[in-house]
Amino acid sequence: MATDPARLTADLVRCPSVTPEEGGALALLESLLSGAGFRCVRVDRGGVANLLARWGEKGAVRSFGFNGHTDVVPVGDEDAWSVPPFAAEERDGVLYGRGATDMKSGVAAFAAAAVDFVQETPPGDGAILLAITGDEEGPAVDGTAALLDWMAAEGEAMSVCLVGEPTSRERLGDTVKIGRRGSLNAVFTVTGVQGHAAYPHRAKNPLPAMARLMDRLASAELDNGTEHFDPSTLAVVTIDTGNPATNVIPAACRATVNVRFNDRHTGESLSAWLRSEAAAVAETFGVGIDLRISVSGEAFLTPPGPFSDLVARAVEAETGVTPELSTSGGTSDARFVKDHCPVVEFGLVGKSMHQVDEHVPLPHIHSLKAIYARILRDFFA
């Protein structure tokens, strides 16, 4: 009997796996996959639950990998939901619940496709690996990164990997991701001297310096884009003094910027530019500027080629839609996988992810399973 990906999605949604809680989701998948002949290993690290499942021999000539996550973001105001967020309620052919789109449906679809494939047409000289984490929506330090560290230590390897994140924009099949922009956060603290607003000469106001710095950064044109990437962007996301008084010049001011960058830059090159801009403003205004930078992912690209072509052909064959090869969107765990093997991403339409009443049409889950199954057949043909 074929594995029903919609039923599996519903079962996973009923697991309250708000990051980093496992919530029973990985235990459910381990039971399914073990029963189908997969060797399952829990690769837990730092309080995070992770699962690696392999069918076939270690070191197989050809090994196809799937990557995904079962952790979900918090539900927010539960009273704003029209359905209980972990009840997996179905209405008119649509399944509702936290994680229904991002991305328990994707995990269910590739798990179901893999189970049926190895039972119906097992690849004699091949292997299928499923790397599933409970730490994608959180810090992502002990999730897919932990799985890849364990794989390297144990001699496990994927020839290629497909990440099942929601990638489609308007219609299932319209977008395959072949890369991602990098992401950098920078927190600036400008320190001056507090004083009375009526006697500004006795103080050193940090606000004009911060305003000048934020204007310089926000006005800068980082680049004009590259062959596969849109132009890089810098957004000022917060400026704060914490000053409730109208007659006090504050001692300090803080601001945060987020940079989404293409392959013209690295986290290191952008960090150097930010430090240089801060130093110039600090010298002009005679203030101190402290800067803390965190890079959550570098820009990367899997150049169009045999793997992206294989995925695109399967998508078109099952949906009738020719997908665009894109690098848009935020970060994903593909940023870790790209150091291990060629990686692309394909999944459902992501419009409702992270929203109240997150939902997925049930036919889309079945279509996604069919696409993943075709990809497996074509890869091992």
Percent helix, percent strand, percent coil in the chain, to nearest 5? 35, 25, 40
Instruction: Report domain extents, the chain.
Output: 5-180+299-380, 182-297
Band of pLDDT at residue 166, cut at 50, 70 and 90: very high
Band of pLDDT at residue 124, cut at 50, 70 and 90: confident
Residue 1: predicted pLDDT: 84
Q: Which residues are catalytic?
A: 71, 136
- Over its C-alpha atoms, the chain yields an Rg (Å, rounded) of 24
Residue 99: predicted pLDDT: 98
Mean pLDDT in residue range 57-86:
96
| Span 347-359, pLDDT tens digits | 999 999 999 999 9
Q: What does the buried/exposed string (b/e) look like for 189-224 if buried means 16 or more CB atoms within 10 Å of the residue's CB?
A: bbbbeebeeeeeeebbbbbbbbebbbeebeeeebee
Cα-Cα-Cα-Cα torsion 100, 104, 108, 109, nearest 10 degrees, comes to 70
Please state, in angstroms and rounded to a whole number, the distance separating the CA atoms of residues 9 and 137.
18
Does pLDDT of 17 surpass 90?
Answer: yes
Residue 257: predicted pLDDT: 98
Does pLDDT of 367 surpass 90?
Answer: yes
First-to-last C-alpha distance (Å) of the chain: 23
pTM reported for the whole predicted model: 0.92
Does pLDDT of 317 surpass 90?
Answer: yes
Mean pLDDT in residue range 94-99:
98
Number of residues written out for the chain: 381
The mean pLDDT of the chain is 97
Burial class (CB in 10 A: 0-12, 13-18, 19+), 135: buried
| Span 30-41, pLDDT tens digits | 999 999 999 999
Does pLDDT of 59 surpass 90?
Answer: no
Please state, in angstroms and rounded to a whole number, the distance separating the CA atoms of residues 20 and 284.
45
Q: Which amino acid is at 276?
A: S
What are the Cα distances from residue 245, in Å, to 202, 207, 209, 248, 261? Answer: 17, 14, 20, 6, 38
CATH code of the domain made up of 5-180+299-380: 3.40.630.10
Residue 171: predicted pLDDT: 97
Band of pLDDT at residue 53, cut at 50, 70 and 90: very high
| Span 206-255, pLDDT tens digits | 999 999 999 999 999 999 999 999 999 999 999 999 999 999 999 999 99
3-class state of residue 64 by DSSP: strand
Residue 330: predicted pLDDT: 87
Percent over 70 (pLDDT), the chain: 100
Residue 293, beta-bridge partner list: 186
In CATH, 182-297 is 3.30.70.360: yes
Please state, in angstroms and rounded to a whole number, the distance separating the CA atoms of residues 46 and 152.
18
Q: What does the buried/exposed string (b/e) look like for 25-43 if buried means 16 or more CB atoms within 10 Å of the residue's CB?
A: bbebbbebbeebebebbeb
**Bigger pLDDT: 66 or 1?**
66
